[in-house]
């Protein structure tokens, strides 16, 4: 291939464009919004994950561990704010200790620097934390992911890459003699290859390109609070609960950001629009599409009660949200937190109701489609980009 069109201007799409450019290809990036990193990248917790949670040998495990190093190195090289501060994963009751031990075993298997510590040792890091045991993870960090994207855009612009905002992919056609044509509504981009990094719309872009993807994107909104300025002292770094191994989400946690603020969350509720950051954000098309998908009903039968109902209650109840945080830091009360926005996770789901646990990348002739890239995709963006560039190169 000589030239490639990348659909999607979040951190994964921009990283892919940069890696392809470094390998000598001509690249065009199409982003439907008027700014870069407008959705998942611009609405996440800005945590550089260590690779702790993921099944050994999986894409997530390998790419997160390697990505933890490469994204930090990139940030330091290009002046993006980053801090490797470590974090605590805390068991707040004895019944969580087996799951904490499993996390410690996964950390060792994945090459993540982590160690079990006592409650007293945990309080040396976080004086206000409550736990019966904890895992200290040294390589977790915080970073400005939108800042990473700004740095990538500068590099791409300097390299002469064709960067197009306000350019949605509205139609895609495979050319008979190879390559693709992508219509944006105002233009048609002709390229030897296509890389789909469209995040919340990745399955739709795949279908536009003639692929029948093995999974459907279902949007889940995660809502955040933050501690009031006079209560930020309660949290020194990052405090996470032991996650429920049957669920794809890590649970409500506390994160000290680069500016000193402390974010709390997220919960996880079904969004009523693919870019639905509030309950009032509603799309009849998106809701009808989810309702017609058999997988969502199978998932609902498994998780609606009590897990899903509890998440919805917490969405509407500041008191419940604060109570979840108080399990980790008992001094946090309802009066200490204020709302602070939300993000939407593009979760891939199969027809049988199972959630795709790993990164999912599918290919067709002259095409690569990233169909599941939730957290830790931002951490892993440069590694995902290398993997995709290898696939593009192998098709050349």
Structural domains of the chain ordered from first start:
3-48+146-216+356-395 (3.50.50.60)
For residues 340 and 263, what is the distance between their CA atoms, to the nearest angstrom?
8
> Shortest CA distance to 106 belongs to which of 59, 56, 63?
56
Kindly state the average pLDDT of the residues 262-266: 95
Flag whether pLDDT at 233 surpasses 90: yes
Q: 354-387 burial, b if ≥16 CB within 10 A, otherwise e? A: ebbeebbbbeeebbbbbbbbbbbbbbbbbbbbbb
* pLDDT tens per residue across span 11-44: 999 999 999 999 999 999 999 999 999 999 999 9
Flag whether pLDDT at 246 surpasses 80: no
Flag whether pLDDT at 302 surpasses 90: no
Flag whether pLDDT at 240 surpasses 80: yes
Kindly state the average pLDDT of the residues 225-247: 92
**The residue count for the chain:** 396
For residues 34 and 283, what is the distance between their CA atoms, to the nearest angstrom?
20
Q: What is the pLDDT of residue 395?
A: 67
């Amino acid at each position: 291939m000589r030239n490639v069109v990348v659909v999607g201007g979040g951190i994964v799409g921009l990283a892919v464009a940069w890696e392809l450019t470094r390998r000598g290809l001509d690249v065009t990036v199409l982003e439907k919004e008027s700014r870069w990193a407008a959705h998942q990248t611009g609405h996440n917790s800005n945590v550089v994950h260590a690779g702790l949670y993921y099944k050994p040998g999986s894409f997530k495990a390998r790419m997160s561990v390697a990505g933890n190093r490469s994204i930090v190195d990139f940030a330091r090289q290009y002046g993006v704010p980053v801090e490797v501060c470590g974090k605590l994963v805390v068991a707040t009751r004895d019944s969580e200790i087996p799951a904490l031990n499993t996390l410690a075993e996964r950390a060792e298997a994945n090459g993540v620097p982590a160690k079990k510590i006592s409650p007293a040792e945990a309080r040396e890091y976080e004086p206000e934390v409550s736990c019966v045991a904890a895992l200290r993870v040294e390589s977790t960090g915080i970073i400005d992911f939108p800042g990473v994207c700004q740095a990538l855009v500068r590099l791409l612009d300097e390299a002469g890459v064709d960067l197009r905002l306000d350019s949605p992919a509205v139609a895609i056609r495979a050319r008979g003699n190879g390559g693709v044509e992508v219509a944006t509504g105002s233009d048609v981009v002709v390229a030897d290859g296509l890389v789909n990094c469209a995040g919340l719309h990745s399955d739709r872009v795949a279908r536009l390109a003639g692929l029948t993807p093995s999974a459907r994107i279902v949007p889940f909104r995660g809502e955040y609070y933050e501690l009031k300025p006079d209560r930020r002292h309660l949290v020194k770094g990052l405090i996470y609960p032991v996650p429920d191994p049957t669920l794809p989400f890590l649970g409500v946690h506390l994160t000290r950001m680069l500016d000193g603020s402390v974010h709390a969350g997220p919960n996880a509720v079904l969004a009523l629009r693919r870019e639905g950051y509030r309950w009032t954000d509603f799309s009849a098309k998106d809701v009808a599409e989810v309702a017609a998908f058999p997988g969502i009903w199978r998932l609902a039968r498994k998780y609606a009660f009590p897990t899903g109902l509890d998440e919805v209650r917490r969405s509407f109840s500041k008191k419940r949200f604060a109570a979840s945080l108080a399990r980790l830091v008992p001094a946090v009360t309802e009066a200490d937190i204020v709302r602070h926005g939300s993000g939407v996770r593009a979760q891939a789901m199969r027809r049988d109701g199972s959630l795709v646990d790993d990164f999912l990348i599918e290919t067709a002739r002259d095409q690569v489609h990233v169909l599941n890239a939730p957290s830790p995709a931002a951490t892993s963006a440069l590694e995902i980009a290398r993997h995709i560039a290898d696939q593009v190169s192998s098709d050349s």
